[in-house]
Amino acid sequence: MPVIQNLAEEYGRALLFFDSKAYSDAALILAPIVEAEPGHGAARLLLARSYYHSAQLRRAEEELRRVVDADPVDGYARLMLGRTLERQGGRAEEAATQLRLAEALGQSLV
């Protein structure tokens, strides 16, 4: 039971770092959480967002694809994936597909 409590505490700590815009630090805390609990969708999405905001776009893409594979109707994850692909450049068609799916799933693109 202590491991789960520690993971919950670490997740809370990662949220604090993310909220204070220390995205790289948040990612460093979140990566082992996601490794220990690969099915923890919220942690994986926060890790992807941390990577995105710290311009680690390939890592963000990898995590977002895992989120979308686990939950294909997650409109926010599709929106983030589309934005991540846009920022990588030269991937406009892939990005547009994800953004259309996000919009179809009710996620506002604004």
DSSP assignments along 17-81, one per residue:
HHHTT-HHHHHHHHHHHHHH-TT-HHHHHHHHHHHHHTT-HHHHHHHHHHHHHH-TT-HHHHHHH
Nearest in space to 95 (alpha carbons), one of 78, 74, 70: 78
pLDDT tens digits for range 47-97: 999 999 999 999 999 999 999 999 999 999 999 999 999 999 999 999 999
| pLDDT(4) > 80 | no
Torsion angles phi and psi, residue 37, rounded to 5: -130, 75
CB atoms within 10 A of CB 60: 26
